[in-house]
Amino acid sequence: MKFFIDTANLDQIKEANDLGILDGVTTNPSLMAKEGISGEANFLNHYKTICEIVDGDVSAEVIATDFDGMIAEGEKLAALHPNIVVKIPAIKEGIKAIKYLSSKGIKTNCTLIFNVGQALLAAKAGATYVSPFIGRLDDISSDGLQLIEDIVNMFNYYDIATQVLAASIRHTMHIVECLKIGADVATCPLNAILGLLNHPLTDKGLEKFLADYHKLNP
Ligand code: E4P
């Protein structure tokens, strides 16, 4: 399973990249706003900076919601760097834009996926990734992980090449469950990735190893 970091924060992106396990980055307009980024030029610069830090796919989301606007934005974003993936919402115009952009060889990530039907239409349009949102489904007492499993099974059954990018991951156990289900990618907040390393027996064991060493090597 590939690991993407789900943030537009450059320090967190660098920290995850320095771990040596990072395969890509996802952003969205809310994450960009959180970093105080506004204006088209600053958005484009920020995406370029992320692409210079990480050697992997970087999702940049369109703001337009009409076909012409989405493809114009998508082509501009894709021209920034070969690793840019144009992120497009799972709406009618979005499916048409994914079809158009993928026919031009531009990678796309269909976002805001909340059911298998949306995932199927995005995949048929040629999306590189579909992003089902786990946490937001869990928030409304629905089962986000079940949706990941259903889409993984559907894509396997029909031999669909589109990758399942598990999004809206809120904590470490979401990542562990995505691993078991067979998601292609998990895009995660930094603390959820670092949480994979947390184990009291690791800390306790290391403390004892070092204490034993220092007894004989004061
Ligand atoms: C990433 O592609 C999504 O936009 C993101 O994971 C959404 O996460 P949230 O539901 O925690 O905002």
Distance CA 51, CA 176 (A): 27
Measure 168 CA to ligand 1 centroid, in angstroms.
4
Amino acid at 153: N
Q: Which residues line ligand 1 (CB under 6 A)?
A: 6, 26, 28, 111, 131, 133, 135-136, 167-168, 187
Give yes or no for a contact between 105 and 85, defined as CB atoms under 8 angstroms apart.
no
Per-residue pLDDT of the chain (218 residues; tens, 9 = 90+): 999 999 999 999 999 999 999 999 999 999 999 999 999 999 999 999 999 999 999 999 999 999 999 999 999 999 999 999 999 999 999 999 999 999 999 999 999 999 999 999 999 999 999 999 999 999 999 999 999 999 999 999 999 999 999 999 999 999 999 999 999 999 999 999 999 999 999 999 999 999 999 999 99
Best substitution site from 168, 187, 188 to test ligand 1's pocket, by max atoms within 8 Å of Cβ? 168
Tell how strand 185-188 and strand 2-6 pair up.
Answer: parallel
Q: Smallest Cα–Cα separation from 5: which of 52, 61, 63, 50?
A: 50
Reply yes or no on whether 99 is catalytic. Answer: no
Catalytic member of 2, 34, 48, 87: 87
Distance CA 176, CA 199 (A): 14
171 exposed, middle or buried (CB, 10 Å; 0-12, 13-18, 19+)?
middle
Q: pTM, whole model, 2 decimals?
A: 0.96
pLDDT in the model for residue 149: 98
Q: How far apart are the first and last CA of the chain?
A: 44
